[in-house]
Structure 1
Amino acid sequence: AAAARRPRVLKMLTPAFFRDREAYLVGTLRAAGHELPVVFALLHTERGITIDAVLAGREDMRNVLFVSTRSTFSVAVEQYRELLRIVDSLAPDRGHPAMCAVIGFTHPARVALNHRLRDHLRETGERFESTPGRAGTAMIVFAPPSFPYVFKVVRDYSTKVGWKGRGRIMENYRWVHQMNRGRLMLDAWLYRNLPFPRECFDEEILSELLEGAPNSVRLDGGSVVLGHVYAQRRVRPLNTFFEEERDHALRERAIDAMGMFVKDLAGLGFFVGDHYGLPSNTGLTHGLNVALFDFDDLAPLLRFRFRETPPPPPGYDEDSWNAERDGSWFHVDEDDVLVDEWERFIGIPLDLRAFFLARHGDLFTLAYWNEVRRRAARGKLHFVLPYPPERRLGVPYP
């Protein structure tokens, strides 16, 4: 009874946090000696402004609100350092650089991460080395092994089919940084002319950088200068997850998240051209959502033509047909997607195939993609809810 009579104090920050169609009031609830982060998600309806959802606790702050896979907030504040001190305390696991970026202060975020990186190199004795996983065909990716961010340099040349050049890759990264990422794409911060002592680099990765990206990396005396490099939060690539994870329930959650990622991305009007390499270009976030971290094949959905494999010509015999001698019976352009063939190449583990087909088998039908294209052509784009449906208070979302 005494505990029930203890005062509860709700403190709210004065500025609202705006992002896309969203607005939030952020604060803390103090009761019984404990402080709980609390956020009210606001919605503008015909009845006026209402509270659509309530987020509470550090997990919601870290995995739902202050995430690097959505657009940055717009916050009207004069003393941003004081604001940062408060929001840092709401989601301390996110890290100060990430929180700077999430609330729109990208330059302070880059400065903070640069300091953190140099402190990490000095304190741990680690060096930059290649990151685990499949080597990128468009980017060279490297980092100190235990650092929570990776660093990416665009290759000058690539043997990748459809390679559009270094400038096109850089333009895509700039495009993604400025867009509504809808919880589906990691942000990347651009640095220019960052010098590091040569001894901070493993010789193998240094050789690869100098040979593969001479327009972005150079030697200057005893220093390695990264003339053009992106920093991006480290996530676990999906293909690595499926190779290492044995918990079947987690595997099902991850493959379901991959299917939802494809659908949500299409709903926003985008598609990944290198769909065969999807598990290598996407990763799992802390909240077990799937996010894209390679943007070189990201393009507007309406650029692609979704087709089914046409039937073979009369007299076709699979055993005797020689493609070099007889040619192909149909032509596939660079932007053609054969939806009935996609299932074989998208990277679904065999033990999860039936589960994926039950949940997302419509992805391999022409009818699904024709409808998505029709909606995109009419401007009917899907808005991905930033918070789980169970956090909502029953107000219909438009």
Structure 2
Amino acid sequence: MGCIDRQVSVLLISIKSYSPELRVGATCRINVGLAGYFSANYADLVMLPLMATTNADNLTESPTLQLQASSMAVLQLYEQLKVDDPPQVRINVCARLILAVFDDFYEELCEYPFRAQRAFENMDPQASLQISRDRLSLYSDYIVVHGPRIREVYPELASDEALWEDLDTCYRPLIAARYEADIAFGFAHSIRRNIHHGIWRPVAYVFSRPVRNRAMSMAAAHQRFELEAGLDASTIVTALQIPRFKAPFRDLSGDTEAVAARWQSLCDEGEFDGELPVALDILEAGFFRDLTAFLVGRLVWPDGKFSPFVLALLNDESGIYIEALLYKTADVHNLFSSSLANFHVTNPLYFQTCVFLHSLMPLRPLGQHFSTIGFNHVGKVAILNEIEEQLDSSGEVFASSPGFDGTVAIGFTFNSCSYHLKVIRDQPTRSYKWGEFVGVDAVLEKYRIVHEINRTGSMLDNVMYFNFRMDRDRFAPELLDDLLENAAGSVQLSGDSVLFRALIVQLKIIPLPVYFEKATEEEIARAVNNLGICIKNNMSANIFNRDLDARNYGIGRYNKVFLFDYDAVEKLTDITIDSNVDLEDGEEDIPDWFFSDKSVFLPEELESGLQIPGRGARRLFREVHKDLLNVDYWKNAQRRLQQGDVLSLRVYPEARRLTSTGQSAD
């Protein structure tokens, strides 16, 4: 069927998202030199053999967030869609309606980083947390509101697949020259999946791949400062003007001199092998998360290599000040970990931003960078592409994960894969110890909740796919038999395909018991120390893991420990914290906590529950994290969380702080 021609704008963004000094709420169309990113004939739109839906596509309840009022364009197109016009006209109207809804969504999405900046400037941590929650659910909220509404006025879309093919034919020219075409395309397909909710009908992700070389050909997202004689305070002062803070600095001159002095000290200590950088690149953005802002840059060395240069900024009654200088690759890996809340970045050029971050962390999958800065749906497709490419290049197939079998989930991966995949069992194994099983959907809900909170740097993110399809020959026969027998409610065969009702994908790490088998005493000691930090950071997010067993924790590339199993997590504020320490030997009275209808935690039993190997490692845990064995420590944290306090986290080593007097392990 034909489409009505329409001139396509090259880029739609909100003025407020691109030019902070002109943020007035208006919408404009501007060209930033990105025309041609999507070819006119859509040759770069590739059909992936991986098919999936995501969280938004399975929601049917109304969102909790109050969306902004729909634009006039959306309202008018809804009225046009109600008219009983010829099919080709209605299809075109529907395509333009979906794009208009997307424009409303994308404009609002681009506002959030500047809301986060205002929260930082106003020292409002509660607003910062709410902004993060709202932004994370924004995509789903738009899909949940408009999917059913479009279905109501155009019910044929729910049953006639041919209409969607024609609609795609109309929709693609409307977005072809847009910078955000990949998000716009995914948005339309999420609407499609929502309209087909409840029907096992996987829809292919077919928008273009965010490949590195294409992104690097676009307009730059950073400023370069040439360095003739090393790094000096005046260069840092200039760089700090990039975020355009409205709040004053406490002592800009003193802070930048301190950074320059720290830098010179590192050079004198031989940190950079006697070389001097030739340039400093700074992303043209502020990065905001919780109580902290970051200026993100990289040093350019004579051989063309890069190293991180990141300033952590805090704000209090005396003004903004530089709290830390991060300069190691491990620092930025942990800072930009997907186990933390997303960053709010005040630059709409997300492709270039991710390529910049990838230059600092080349070992991290590119898809993780998109998710880290809040473009989760771009990241989801990038992850699918990466898994597919790793399968093709390695010739491997999915097999059961090494180590112990999961009690509630079946895990699988392959050696060359950067990710670990899991499916929830229909029923847990016999080692399940939490009474009646709450069911697959309840477990999936826990994984979803963890995805939507600040994971405090100590909980792996969960990329969740629904109605996911892969080729049958990608799976080892033993794994496929296990999935079909023990997760039949979530996995089905359909010809040469394996269909997943729900699939969880996490970044691959090494489970602690597997790590301990080959680790040295020094490595075990470091892991045990980081395990305690992980538990404390989880506490800060109001997360308590009832199953305090080392098997539920893993270690990443830079020795950081993460919680990765969530079937036993609860809010710390919902837990009964008590102790048996004061009970006298031989006392027969039943302790009060025995009658609690909540989960009960006895801190003195934490060490034995973790099953840390070796006396030395257990002794170290007691010495370094003795507060975790103290009931008052836990009750105080619980009380503060109930009062709405935002607890502090450790997201970079103490030694990186400019005021640090001690050293901490990297």
| TM-score, with length taken from structure 1 | 0.87
Counterparts of residues 179-190 of structure 1 (less than 5 Å): 179-190=453-464
Counterparts of residues 260-299 of structure 1 (less than 5 Å): 260-275=533-548, 278-299=549-570
Select which of 133, 146, 166 maps to 2:403.
133
Q: Which amino acid aligns with 1:166?
A: V
Task: Find the counterpart in structure 2 of residue 215 from structure 1.
Answer: 489
Q: State the Cα distance separating 1:298 from its structure 2 match.
A: 1.2
Counterparts of residues 363-378 of structure 1 (less than 5 Å): 363-378=628-643
Task: Find the counterpart in structure 2 of residue 355 from structure 1.
Answer: 620
Contact in 2 for aligned 1:131/1:145 (Cα 8 Å): no
Deviates more, 1:151-160 or 1:286-295: 151-160
1:115-142 residue CA offsets vs partner (Å, 9 max, x unmatched): 2212222222211111011211111111
Task: Find the counterpart in structure 1 of residue 658 from structure 2.
Answer: 393
1:167-221 residue CA offsets vs partner (Å, 9 max, x unmatched): 1111111111111111110101012233222121111111111122222211111
1:147-181 residue CA offsets vs partner (Å, 9 max, x unmatched): 12010111222252232111111111111111111
Q: State the Cα distance separating 1:4 from its structure 2 match.
A: 4.6
Contact in 2 for aligned 1:23/1:42 (Cα 8 Å): yes
Q: Which amino acid aligns with 2:308?
A: P
1:341-365 residue CA offsets vs partner (Å, 9 max, x unmatched): 4433321223322222222234333
Change (3 A) 1:208 1:65: same
Contact in 2 for aligned 1:313/1:329 (Cα 8 Å): no
Q: State the Cα distance separating 1:338 from its structure 2 match.
A: 3.0
Q: Which amino acid aligns with 1:350?
A: G
Task: Find the counterpart in structure 1 of residue 309 from structure 2.
Answer: 38
Over 6 Å off, 4+ runs? none
- Separation in 2, partners of 1:81, 1:106: 13
Q: State the Cα distance separating 1:45 from its structure 2 match.
A: 2.3
Q: Secondary structure at the match of 1:227?
A: strand
Contact in 1 for aligned 2:511/2:551 (Cα 8 Å): yes
Q: State the Cα distance separating 1:235 from its structure 2 match.
A: 0.7
Change (3 A) 1:4 1:263: closer
Coordinate RMSD, CA, aligned? 2.5
- Separation in 2, partners of 1:233, 1:17: 23
Select which of 329, 332, 341 maps to 1:58.
329
- Separation in 1, partners of 2:511, 2:454: 22
Select which of 623, 641, 649 maps to 1:384.
649
- Separation in 2, partners of 1:387, 1:369: 23
1:286-339 residue CA offsets vs partner (Å, 9 max, x unmatched): 22121110111111112221223345666x7xxxxxxxxxxx956465611233
Q: Which amino acid aligns with 1:233?
A: L
Select which of 373, 377, 397 maps to 1:107.
377
Select which of 525, 529, 552 maps to 1:256.
529
Task: Find the counterpart in structure 1 of residue 577 from structure 2.
Answer: 306
Q: How many residues align?
A: 378
Q: Which amino acid aligns with 2:652?
A: Y
Deviates more, 1:76-85 or 1:186-195: 76-85
Deviates more, 1:138-147 or 1:345-354: 345-354
Contact in 2 for aligned 1:312/1:329 (Cα 8 Å): no
Q: Secondary structure at the match of 2:459?
A: coil
Percent identical among aligned pairs is 33
- Separation in 2, partners of 1:135, 1:31: 47
Q: Secondary structure at the match of 1:28?
A: strand
Contact in 2 for aligned 1:139/1:155 (Cα 8 Å): yes
Select which of 131, 152, 156 maps to 2:422.
152
- Separation in 1, partners of 2:414, 2:635: 45
Deviates more, 1:298-307 or 1:230-239: 298-307
Name the structure where strand makes up a greater proportion of residues. 1
Q: Which amino acid aligns with 1:51?
A: I
* Residue segments in structure 2 that go unaligned for 5+ positions in a row: 1-227, 231-275, 661-666
- Separation in 1, partners of 2:451, 2:458: 12
Contact in 1 for aligned 2:458/2:562 (Cα 8 Å): yes
Contact in 2 for aligned 1:269/1:381 (Cα 8 Å): no
Task: Find the counterpart in structure 2 of residue 173 from structure 1.
Answer: 447
Change (3 A) 1:208 1:43: same
Change (3 A) 1:175 1:109: same
Select which of 511, 514, 517 maps to 1:240.
514
- Answer yes or no: is 1:340 the counterpart of 2:604: yes
- Separation in 2, partners of 1:359, 1:311: 28
1:351-393 residue CA offsets vs partner (Å, 9 max, x unmatched): 3222222222343333333333333333344210322122122
Change (3 A) 1:311 1:341: farther
- Separation in 2, partners of 1:38, 1:173: 34
Deviates more, 1:331-340 or 1:185-194: 331-340
Name the structure where helix makes up a greater proportion of residues. 2
Task: Find the counterpart in structure 2 of residue 118 from structure 1.
Answer: 388
- Separation in 2, partners of 1:343, 1:385: 22
Contact in 2 for aligned 1:70/1:182 (Cα 8 Å): yes
Q: Secondary structure at the match of 1:192?
A: strand
- Answer yes or no: is 1:70 the counterpart of 2:335: no
Please say which structure displays the higher CA radius of gyration. 2
